[in-house]
């Protein structure tokens, strides 16, 4: 998917909103005919997203199959961990071979901070103390590649307590990197400018938010 064309981005946003309206309508409606109408709207939205994203309609429907209830943005929780040399901890994503901050979708039953610490431990092997929240970003307001989901991203500052072995299967490698020599990043997850901003934020007391 390309994010260069404003018309492209707007069409994707409209299709996501249409799907959210259908999902919310299906959650609240009690009428058989209303349910049929909302199902039809959801199908149209799936087709629109599939066309925009160059995906199969069935694949889009599969992605949203477990999205039910009142429609909300997806919550992506990540952790920025710096060592004494000012290098940042990154993990290599098995899905695309690119690098990112440890993190992922928030799990039910854990707080955002607990999610961040769990993701670091599973994806890198490091046990961290969560120090504070650094940023709360709406990915649609940044230059991430367009996504079929509307995503909010929370980034916490983590402090290493001790190292261990990686226990997850979603990452292939882990390392600390200089901000001036970052590896190829998974831009849907994190961008170079955001990493530099997180470095600025950790040195002060501000929280960056959209």
- Provide the domain count of the chain: 2
Same structural domain for residues 96 and 199?
A: yes
For residue 201, tell me if it sits in a domain. Answer: yes
pLDDT at 21: 81
Adjacency order of strands within the sheet including 99-100: 99-100, 88-93, 171-177
pLDDT at 1: 47
Any residues with CB less than 8 A from the CB of 27 and at least 6 apart, and which?
A: 68, 69, 70
For residue 69, tell me if it sits in a domain. Answer: no
Last residue of a domain, one of 39, 63, 87: 63
Last residue of a domain, one of 37, 63, 89: 63
CA–CA gap between residue 174 and residue 28 (Å, rounded):
45
The pTM of the full predicted model, rounded to 2 decimals, is: 0.73
Same structural domain for residues 82 and 185?
A: yes
CA–CA gap between residue 100 and residue 180 (Å, rounded):
15
Same structural domain for residues 56 and 78?
A: no
For residue 105, tell me if it sits in a domain. Answer: yes
Last residue of a domain, one of 63, 87, 111: 63
For residue 109, tell me if it sits in a domain. Answer: yes
Same structural domain for residues 30 and 122?
A: no
CA 14 to chain centre: 20
Do residues 192 and 98 lie in contact, with contact meaning Cβ atoms separated by under 8 Å?
A: no
For residue 155, tell me if it sits in a domain. Answer: yes
- In CATH, what number is assigned to the domain containing residue 85? 3.90.79.10
pLDDT at 162: 92
Do residues 151 and 74 lie in contact, with contact meaning Cβ atoms separated by under 8 Å?
A: yes
Same structural domain for residues 10 and 112?
A: no
Same structural domain for residues 57 and 130?
A: no
For residue 68, tell me if it sits in a domain. Answer: no
Same structural domain for residues 20 and 93?
A: no
Same structural domain for residues 38 and 110?
A: no
Same structural domain for residues 126 and 166?
A: yes
pLDDT at 117: 97
Same structural domain for residues 59 and 97?
A: no
Q: Is 173 exposed, middle or buried (0-12, 13-18, 19+ CB in 10 A)?
A: middle
For residue 1, tell me if it sits in a domain. Answer: no
Same structural domain for residues 177 and 102?
A: yes
pLDDT at 8: 67
Which residues span the domain enclosing 198?
74-209
pLDDT at 89: 97
Run means of pLDDT, 10 residues per run, the chain, 210 residues: 61 77 78 82 78 68 59 88 97 95 92 96 96 95 79 96 86 96 95 97 96
For residue 165, tell me if it sits in a domain. Answer: yes
pLDDT at 2: 45
Same structural domain for residues 139 and 95?
A: yes
pLDDT at 41: 81
Do residues 46 and 53 lie in contact, with contact meaning Cβ atoms separated by under 8 Å?
A: no
CA 165 to chain centre: 24
CA–CA gap between residue 102 and residue 174 (Å, rounded):
9
């Amino acid at each position: 998917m390309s994010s260069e064309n404003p018309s492209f981005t707007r069409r994707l946003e409209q299709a996501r909103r249409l799907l959210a309206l259908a999902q919310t309508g299906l959650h609240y409606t009690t009428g058989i005919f209303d349910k049929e109408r909302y199902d039809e709207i959801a199908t149209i939205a799936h087709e629109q997203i599939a066309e925009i994203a160059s995906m199969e309609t069935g694949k889009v429907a599969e992605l949203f199959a477990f999205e039910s209830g009142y429609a909300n943005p997806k919550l992506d929780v990540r952790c920025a961990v710096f060592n004494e040399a000012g290098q940042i901890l990154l993990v290599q994503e098995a899905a695309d071979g690119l690098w990112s901050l440890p993190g992922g979708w928030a799990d039910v039953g854990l707080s955002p901070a607990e999610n961040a610490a769990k993701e670091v431990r599973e994806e890198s092997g490091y046990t961290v103390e969560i120090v504070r929240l650094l940023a709360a970003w709406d990915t649609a307001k940044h230059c991430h590649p367009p996504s079929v989901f509307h995503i909010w991203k929370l980034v916490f500052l983590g402090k290493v307590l001790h190292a261990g072995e990686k226990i997850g299967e979603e990452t292939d490698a882990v390392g600390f990197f200089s901000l001036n020599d970052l590896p190829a990043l998974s831009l849907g997850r994190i961008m170079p400018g955001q990493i530099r901003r997180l470095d600025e934020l950790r040195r002060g007391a501000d929280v960056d938010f959209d």
